[in-house]
Structure 1
Amino acid sequence: MLSVICPIYNEEKYIRQCIESLLSQDYPKDDLEIIFVDGMSKDETRSIVAEYSQRYPFIYLLDNPHKIVPYAMNIGIQASKGDIIIRLDAHANYQNDYFSALTKRLMELNADNVGVVCKTDVLNKNAKTLAIREVLGNKFGVGNSTFRTGVNKVMKVDTVPFGCWRRDVFERYGLYNVRLERNQDIELNKRIHSGGGKIYIVPDTYCTYLARETFHAIAKNNYGNGKWNILTVFFTKQLKSLSLRHFIPLLFLLSLIIPPILSLLYSPFIIITYIAFFSYTFLLGGISANLAHKKHLKFCYLLASFITLHISYGWGSLVGICKLPFLKQ
């Protein structure tokens, strides 16, 4: 029995095509339940899911009054009946062998968690969104995560997007940490890894994540990611909950802010800011120009995407640090 859990909130733009990709799965429907856990959506998300649940008895809709993802996952896990549990995201589409490939590898590898590459795409394709898509799949934009850059063989890793677990993993390592609005998957996987569990990424199939399509939406999302990098460390009391790459945008932003302040005491400090700014601009300008030439994309949109991504992420981390004195463990 396979239980598929998908947290949702105001996903009317994406939910229908997500469900259609789940209905196309080659996994036997008699051994499948799909549980959508809704954070009390204010758009048409609930009615769309309800429409499908009336037509397909293995689709369920549960309420998540707490709204955030870790609560949704815990509600879904506790309500589910499956021997195997898969977590999904409504902002994504899934290849029709997604369920069968993950469950097969979970058993073959005797793994605690299995995942696949998550490719990035956009729903509406134009010059700006195609540039955003490129940056969100580029190692200079989002780092060198294996699940973003791709694999051609089975690999042991520290984390994977979403996940496919045996039910007893949650009995051994615990449920999702409800204090974490972001990074909850990374933290759970770090907990599994630290406890001796085995996590693999496999090349058998993939999912396609549909990215946000405006600079404002990208900035808002990555501001939250950056802020919760800091708060995750605070709430878990473990720096190893995250990797060094999660803090590079913060370090870059600090290199622009701190030296000018220190230069009030000793003027040569301002040189550090000049070096950081011009090095960053030269590097990203060169990368953007190369991508624009090779992939026929707009240079200005590429450069703006990189800058928006990095600055909003770093600013979120800085705000997270500023919040720490006002938080309670």
Structure 2
Amino acid sequence: MDHPPPISVIMPLLNEEEHLGEAVQAILDQGYPGELELVLAIGRGHDNTLGVARRLAGRDPRITVVENPSGRTPDALNLAVAAAGHDIVARVDGHGFLSPGYLERAVTVLEETGAANVGGVMYAEGVTPFEKAVAVAMRSRLGVGGARFHTGGQAGPADTVYLGVFRRQWLTRAGGYDARFSRAQDWELNYRIRQAGGTVWFDPELQVRYRPRPSVRRLALQYRDYGRWRRVVAREHKGSINARYLAAPTALVANVVGLVGGFFWAPLWVIPATYATAITVGGLAIGRHDGPAVAVRVPAVLATMHASWGWGFLTSRPGQLLPDTDEP
């Protein structure tokens, strides 16, 4: 780019003390050729994220810290956008690490396509065997369906992308992040942008390394909330649901019917048996390249993701606004 436009990077943060320094450094080391500022919006959590953020800001004038009293992700995002000074706004999360050249590539694609928002792949990478198993599942169609921002694919218009680099005019036109949505706020915002005539563009070269949840409990809570909030979005925006989002709740209902009904009519047991066989064989297959310690964990990870997402979707009540139960 001959005249790279200035860019504001925003990060909503809650209990991110452990990884914040690395995530911030990945942004500052981007080597973006234009002016760059980083706005950290900090919620009141149970660790010292705010203290770490203030120390980082004291070392680098490009960093601004704003406090988010509610601790909720959409509030943090809107506060950060309001504090940002530039017309291009890139969202990054505290547990996401940008690939080299991400920002320059995103701005180039934004200008070449005329899109309202561009984004790429949420590339899950774990450290422990469990985290690696979650990463395998998150990068597989067996785990998350055909979403390109998880599995990759061809560049082009998309329903949604991971995080995103926006033109401020489209954030303003869409009304910003809807503060009612503790989860799924990216998908919901991108839906409104598309309804207003904007293009959301997926580019597989834009990758963000993502650290998966480190335990079964936290993974289950994460996917339960994903399911709950996806149904909230579906109620708010009629016609926005599709078959991929119904797969997990359908599988959960079918398995429960098969397990219970099998005591009255044995052939029904073929339903959960078929599902268990599919995720066991499929999970071992997609995890084999990461070694046996990872592969043997993938089937249980797949079952946790599917069941938790399905349970969240089925138990999401009309009008229910849920608090964040985990970090953004």
TM-score (norm 2): 0.89
Amino acid at match of 1:98: Y
Partner-residue secondary structure (3-state), 1:162 = strand
* SS at 1:324 equivalent: coil
CA contact (8 A) 1:291 1:297 kept: no
Confirm whether residue 19 of structure 1 aligns to residue 24 of structure 2. Answer: yes
Aligned to 1:304: 300
Offset, 1:244: 2.6
Among residues 81, 86, 104, which one is paired with 1:77 in the alignment?
Answer: 81
1:193 match: secondary structure = helix
In the alignment, which residue of structure 2 is the partner of 1:107?
A: 111
Task: Please say if residues 136 and 287 of structure 2, whose CA atoms lie closer than 8 Å, have aligned partners that are also in contact.
Answer: no
2:39 counterpart letter in structure 1: I
| Change beyond 3 A, Cα 1:168–1:263 | same
- Which residue matches 1:257? 256
Cross-structure match for 1:319: 315
Shift of 1:295: 3.8
Q: Distance in 2 between matches of 1:203 and 1:301?
A: 28
What residue in structure 1 maps to residue 324 of structure 2? none
Alignment of 1:153-302 (within 5 A): 153-234=154-235, 236-240=236-240, 242-258=241-257, 268=265, 271-272=267-268, 274-298=269-293, 299-302=295-298
Shift of 1:316: 1.5
**Change in CA separation of 1:285 and 1:73 when aligned onto 2, cut-off 3 Å:** same
Could you tell me how far 1:246 is from its partner in structure 2?
Answer: 2.1
Contact 2:258 2:272 (C-alpha < 8 Å) held by counterparts: no
Q: Distance in 2 between matches of 1:288 and 1:57?
A: 47
Q: Which residue of the partner structure matches residue 97 of structure 2? A: 93
SS in 1 for 2:107: helix
From 42, 46, 68, the equivalent of 1:42 is 46
Return the alpha-carbon distance in structure 2 between the equivalents of residues 165 and 57 of structure 1: 23
Cα separation, 2, equivalents of 1:256 and 1:177? 35
Deviations 1:227-251 (A, max 9, x none): 11222223x14240x4432221111
Q: 1:300 to 1:170 in 2, by over 3 A?
A: same
Aligned equivalents of 1:326 and 1:202: distance in 2? 34
> Equivalent pairs: percent with the same residue?
26
Q: Distance in 2 between matches of 1:109 and 1:13?
A: 37
Matches within 5 A, 1:47-58: 47-58=51-62
1:128 aligns with 2:122: no
Task: Work out the CA distance in 1 between the residues paired with 2:287 and 2:150.
Answer: 20
Aligned residue type for 1:172: R
Matched residue count? 316
How far apart, in 2, do the equivalents of 1:233 and 1:318 lie? 12
Q: Deviations over 1:129-170 (max 9, x none)?
A: 32222112111111111111123x531111101011111102
Whole-Å separation in 1 of the counterparts to 2:130 and 2:217: 12
Change (3 A) 1:326 1:232: closer
Offset of residue 103 of structure 1 = 0.9
CA contact (8 A) 2:284 2:296 kept: no
Q: Supply the distance in 2 between the matched residues of 1:97 and 1:219 (Cα, whole angstroms).
A: 33
Q: State the distance in 2 between where 1:112 and 1:157 align.
A: 12
- Contact 2:258-2:271 at 8 Å conserved across structures: no
Unpaired segments of 5 or more residues in structure 2?
1-5, 322-328
- CA-based RMSD of the aligned residues comes to 2.3
TM-score, structure 1 as length reference: 0.89
What's the secondary structure of 2:136's corresponding residue? helix
